[in-house]
Amino acid sequence: MIVIYHNPDSIESNKCIEILETSKHNHQVIKYYDKALDKEKLIKIINLLKISPLELIRTEEKLWIEKFKHLIIAGIEFSNDELIDIMISHPQLIERPIIINGERAVIGKPPKKIFDIL
């Protein structure tokens, strides 16, 4: 079963849903704004993606720029654990969509990246 962490307001996320539906793959849609990710789940996703927590953060998001970017510019470094806590507290900062198929995962930007794990 393919799992997609989805934000209905995201164009890329909606295109990935469309790909899954037209390719007739069984999938589960999780609207992560409605059902918050816990720390254990988020760590597992980061490990499946084989990226650092910072790479999963939407650093161009207004919230990141207003609340966190100035701290980095000032030389304050966040630990991976702190970055994960920030994403849990502010799920809008999580890059999307995230598509997981077994032990493989991708961020669906661009949406055709989904084919890498189908």
Angle between the 39-49 and 80-89 helix axes, to the nearest 10 degrees?
Answer: 120
Encoded tokens for 6: 């989805």
Encoded tokens for 84: 């994960």
The domain locations on the chain are 2-116
Fold of domain 2-116 = Glutaredoxin (3.40.30)
Lowest mean pLDDT among 29-38, 78-87, 99-108: 29-38
pLDDT (tens digit, 9 = 90+) per residue, 41-78? 999 999 999 999 999 999 999 999 999 988 887 888 99
Whether pLDDT at 13 is above 90: yes
Encoded tokens for 41: 């789940």
DSSP 80-105: HHHHHHHHHH-GGGB-S-EEEETTEE
pLDDT (tens digit, 9 = 90+) per residue, 71-95? 887 888 999 999 999 999 999 999 9
Q: What pLDDT is attached to residue 99?
A: 98
**Which residues, in sequence order, are CB contacts of 44 under 8 Å at separation 6+?**
none
Whether pLDDT at 31 is above 90: yes
